[in-house]
Amino acid sequence: MVNGVAGVMAIAGLALAVMLRSGLDGIEQKIDPGPPINKNIYTMSHRERRHLRIDELPGNLSEALDELEKDDLIRETLGQHLFEHFVAAKREEWLDYIKHVSPWETERYLGMY
């Protein structure tokens, strides 16, 4: 029997550890988060977001992992062993994901070709 709840809780615990460590690092380094933005950034144009220095998030899991691998603070927080295994597991998850054709793709492209 597999207990999925334990896995989810473990990942939530890792996320919390990383968030706390990132917040503490921001305080220690006196990083200025800048002024608050009280607008819906999803309705802004690319130009508006760039003007406000709002970076784009990675477009998919693979791009997110590329960014994660550059982050020494997260690597240090999780420890080298856990970090490497987490990234490897997520890379495998991405490879499994991209092998599948979504219902949207089937509906959109099957009749087209």
Give the tens place of pLDDT for each residue, 41-61: 999 999 999 999 899 999 999
Distance CA 64, CA 97 (A): 15
What pLDDT is stored for residue 3 in this prediction?
Answer: 43
pTM of the model: 0.77
Q: Please determine, for residue 6, whether its predicted confidence score (pLDDT) is greater than 60.
A: no
Name the residue among 58, 22, 19, 51 with its Cα closest to residue 34.
51
Distance CA 109, CA 111 (A): 6
- Work out the average pLDDT over 55-77: 95
Name the residue among 86, 40, 15, 90 with its Cα closest to residue 60.
90
Q: Please determine, for residue 82, whether its predicted confidence score (pLDDT) is greater than 90.
A: yes
Q: How many residues does the chain have?
A: 113
Segments making up each domain of the chain, as ranges: 1-56, 60-105
Helical segments of the chain, H only: 4-28, 46-51, 61-69, 72-78, 80-97, 103-109
Contacts (Cβ under 8 Å, ≥6 apart) of 67: 58
